Amino acid sequence: MKKNTAILIFANSAEKEAERKSFLYSDVFSALNHQTLKTVEKSGIEYFHFSEKNQVGSSFGERFSNAIEAIFKKGFENVITVGNDTPHLKTSHLVDTLFQLENNDLVLGPSKDGGFYLMGIKKEHFNKETFLKLPWQTSKLQKCITSILSSKVLNIKFLEILNDLDVLEDIKKIFHSFKRIPKSILKVLTLLIFTQKEFFIDVIINLQKTISTPNSNKGSPFIFA
């Protein structure tokens, strides 16, 4: 199964991502790119990185679909796609997806904004025309994919829901999740919120409320993976 599967890291360079998401510095994306690569390499699954340098297409949907198609053309039967904006992505998510594809038609790691941070798909179920019509980069994406698969009576396996970094508010959600954060990511995000005075104060106040709430999760957000 591993030899028939490849991981597609669909992520731009730190400089390019910083242009698109101006609330984050390039240092943040450098750390995210490094951590994503490290996570993928630990899985032992062959991978390919498509940045803005080798993406083809005028829209996100076109670039993403073309990248998936390119992997299939290399002879792989399954593709697992990930981006670089999910701090809580772990190697276990990739390995789990690898095995889940044996009994499911598609595996989806849903993000809280209605999109997804991971997708495992088989070549036989990849339809480029359908992909191009999906509402990419909107909150309707996840529901749309689920609806299409249900209409075709295909099996879909969902992984745990995670937060990705699309807006400044997402940093607060990631800190409040109390999930383990890699040390390198925690460092740059902490430095970032220090530069946003009002945002930083709000994060601290909410963390104090969460910690002081009875029966709350007693773990600390400042835990290194």
Express each pLDDT in 50-72 by its tens digit. Answer: 999 999 999 999 999 999 999 99
Say yes or no: 14 and 102 in one domain: yes
Is the pTM higher than 0.85? The answer reads no
pLDDT at 79: 98
With b for 16 or more beta-carbon neighbours within 10 A and e for fewer, the 48-85 pattern comes to: bbbbeeebeeeeebbbbbbbbebbbeeebebbbbbbbb
What whole-number distance in Å separates Cα of residue 19 and Cα of residue 21? 6
Say yes or no: 120 and 190 in one domain: no
Say yes or no: 47 and 129 in one domain: yes
**pLDDT at residue 208 greater than cutoff 70:** no
Domain count along the chain: 2
Angle at 193 between CA 189 and CA 207, to 5 degrees: 95
Say yes or no: 76 and 30 in one domain: yes
Average pLDDT, the chain: 83
Q: Are strands 106-110 and 78-82 parallel, antiparallel or unpaired?
A: unpaired
Say yes or no: 45 and 117 in one domain: yes
Residue 225: inside a domain:
no
Contact 72, 79 (CB under 8 A): yes
Say yes or no: 116 and 154 in one domain: yes
